[in-house]
A and B are shown apart, each in its own frame.
Chain A
Amino acid sequence: MANKDYAFYPGCTSHYRGSASNYLVSVESMCRTLDVKLTQIPDWNCCGASVSYAGSGELARHVINARNFALAEQHLPGRDVVATCAACWLNARESKEQLDASAGLLADTNEALKEAGLRYQGIASVRHMVEVLIEDLGYEELGRHVVKPLEGVKFAGYVGCQTNRPFGIAGESFENPVYLDKLVETVGGQAVADYDQKVTCCGGALAVSEPEKSQAQIKDIVESAYDHGADMIVTPCPLCQANVEIYQADVNQRYGTKFNMPVTYYSQLMTVAYGGSAEEAALDGQIIRATRLEEIAATPGKR
């Protein structure tokens, strides 16, 4: 029996050979161990991300998110919607809060949804994968499956923005959330306690449109990880992961630095600690190889 059952909203970058395909592979591996069942919402669509506002308008941005809820309610009734992407989660949750608070907005939304033969009833709730781990399973359960503790590896827990603000994980502070550090420790790793760039913005979508300005941010994020002796950065957000990893060569060129800091997902740490292979943890999806994790994944361990 599957322990937990969710309506899964994987998001655009998770698709086959997308920029966060490594996130999806490692989440699926992690969930297999934890007996968490993820069923994709049939025909889910893009959440609009954080930068499509010029063309959208208020109602359209809520309607596109309501479409996913309506599909989940129709095909996967009774299951919480779970997103792995920070932006998917934020946009979906923001729309849900607005729709549930305003009967007028809900009526307009359903009038538009009717064009696609759908109706949002306001039942489905939306969660981030991290919430599922912490709230539905708990640190103790997460630790129970560890067969290869990530001993001696030092992680800078880079939480970033959108899993942290404006909603965040219940009980965590906006300025110094500690759940990611706790997850690192749960799988036997060492968390950098005073990583001062923990909630700094990587530039988000503006890493594309304003690369110079964003790379100044990225430089601070990576530099501080080095200053605190981290072996690698770990993050819950696919845009943080991509921006902080793939632009390091550009940052080096711009600032004369010699950064080569791996940037991983919590799900990759957990997959390796749970005895998964490098492939199951999608470590081959790193542009900057996470050598320490590859070494642990390669050591024999009980499964």
Chain B
Amino acid sequence: MPTALNEQALARYRNDFLREVEERVDEGGWVKMCMQCGVCAGSCPFGPHWEHSPQKIFMMIRAGKREEVLASDSMWMCTSCYNCVVRCPRKLPITTIMHGLATYAHRLGLAPKRQPTRDFSVIFWENFTRNGRANEIRLMLRLWFRDGFGAGIRKALAMKEVGLGMLRAKRMSPFEIFGGHGVKDVKGFQAMIRKAQEIEDRKRGFSK
């Protein structure tokens, strides 16, 4: 399915990756406004860790470096601190664009495999859409156990002190493992999300 979606995008946009981003990525229409000043690159708290700065990503999009952009780990390093956004002289919504590129790369199946924030992002989405509210303890458990049972136990033991501290401070409830808090109208909540995704898929040309 992700591959089919990628094939379809390749056929449709050929050598125009900028147009592909404009049509299919949240706030992608802003990319061409980047003037390559580099303030975003110098403002990012995770600057030492990613491969490409937003500035580079935006130029790579214009240069048609599709595979490199979509496989980059940079979008997944965004902490949503909005430093780049408030400092950008052209007022690009950089955080949203980076998230949008991450979403798109994930949908096409081209995002880096086992990237921890990619996995966390998917887990978080599944976590709260299950019943309408985020469930902290299930979130942590799923993340820890994503590499199998043994690795999960090791991770849980490493986090034991943090967990016990939270328990003592009455800021963690083991009972949340069994279902936990949620909205009453789970059915309506989920139907509404399905509808939203159906509309967006149609408008962005993902469906058919």
Q: Residues 139-177 of chain B: 1 if any A CB is under 8 Å from the residue's CB, otherwise 0?
A: 110010000000000000000011001101111110010
Closest Cβ of chain B to A172, distance in Å, is: 11
Q: Is the CB of A204 within 8 A of B128?
A: no
A13 and B120 alpha carbons, distance in the complex (Å): 17
Q: Is the CB of A201 within 8 A of B116?
A: no
Q: How large is the interface on A (under 10, 10 to 19, 20 to 34, 35 or more residues)?
A: 35 or more
Given A108-B199, A115-B192, A166-B86, check contact A209 B162 (CB 8 Å): no
Q: Is the CB of B100 within 8 A of A58?
A: yes
A210 and B116 alpha carbons, distance in the complex (Å): 7
**B129 interface hit (Cβ, 8 Å):** yes
A118 neighbours in B (Cβ, 8 Å) = 188, 192
Closest Cβ of chain B to A243, distance in Å, is: 10
**A59 interface hit (Cβ, 8 Å):** yes
**A217 interface hit (Cβ, 8 Å):** yes
Task: Describe B's contact surface by its main secondary structure.
Answer: helix
A197 and B168 alpha carbons, distance in the complex (Å): 29
**B49 interface hit (Cβ, 8 Å):** yes
Q: How large is the interface on B (under 10, 10 to 19, 20 to 34, 35 or more residues)?
A: 35 or more
- Give the residue among B116, B129, B140, B169 with the most A Cβ atoms within 10 A: B169
A113 neighbours in B (Cβ, 8 Å) = 192
Residue of B nearest to A214 (CB): B79
Q: Is the CB of A287 within 8 A of B169?
A: yes
**A15 interface hit (Cβ, 8 Å):** yes
Looking at the complex, which one of B77, B128, B181, B200 makes contact with A57 (CB distance below 8 Å)? B200
Q: Residues 102-120 of chain A: 1 if any B CB is under 8 Å from the residue's CB, otherwise 0?
A: 0000001101111111100
Q: Is the CB of A284 within 8 A of B124?
A: no
Given A213-B46, A250-B162, check contact A116 B192 (CB 8 Å): yes
**A132 interface hit (Cβ, 8 Å):** no
Interface set, chain A 80-131, CB cutoff 8 A to B = 94, 108-109, 111-118
Given A59-B199, A63-B193, A115-B192, check contact A19 B171 (CB 8 Å): yes
B74 neighbours in A (Cβ, 8 Å) = none
**B19 interface hit (Cβ, 8 Å):** no
Q: Is the CB of B118 within 8 A of A54?
A: yes
Q: Is the CB of B121 within 8 A of A115?
A: no
Interface set, chain A 126-175, CB cutoff 8 A to B = 161-162, 165-166, 168, 174
Q: Residues 1-27 of chain A: 1 if any B CB is under 8 Å from the residue's CB, otherwise 0?
A: 000000000001101111111100000
Residue of A nearest to B106 (CB): A54
A13 neighbours in B (Cβ, 8 Å) = 134, 136
**A286 interface hit (Cβ, 8 Å):** yes
The segment from A41-49, A185-193, A225-233 that touches chain B is A41-49
Closest Cβ of chain B to A290, distance in Å, is: 12
Residue of B nearest to A19 (CB): B171
**B197 interface hit (Cβ, 8 Å):** yes
B124 neighbours in A (Cβ, 8 Å) = 49, 51-52, 55, 205
- Give the residue among B83, B170, B196 with the most A Cβ atoms within 10 A: B196
B125 neighbours in A (Cβ, 8 Å) = 48, 52-56
Residue of B nearest to A286 (CB): B169
Looking at the complex, which one of A17, A45, A116 makes contact with B173 (CB distance below 8 Å)? A17
B49 neighbours in A (Cβ, 8 Å) = 210, 213
**B13 interface hit (Cβ, 8 Å):** no
**B103 interface hit (Cβ, 8 Å):** yes
**B35 interface hit (Cβ, 8 Å):** no
Q: Is the CB of A217 within 8 A of B45?
A: yes
Interface set, chain B 78-110, CB cutoff 8 A to A = 79-83, 85-87, 93, 95-96, 99-100, 102-103, 106
Extra pairs beyond A58-B200, A246-B165 (18, CB < 8 Å)? A15-B181, A21-B171, A45-B133, A52-B121, A53-B99, A56-B103, A57-B103, A62-B196, A166-B86, A168-B86, A201-B83, A204-B80, A205-B120, A206-B117, A247-B162, A249-B161, A249-B165, A250-B162
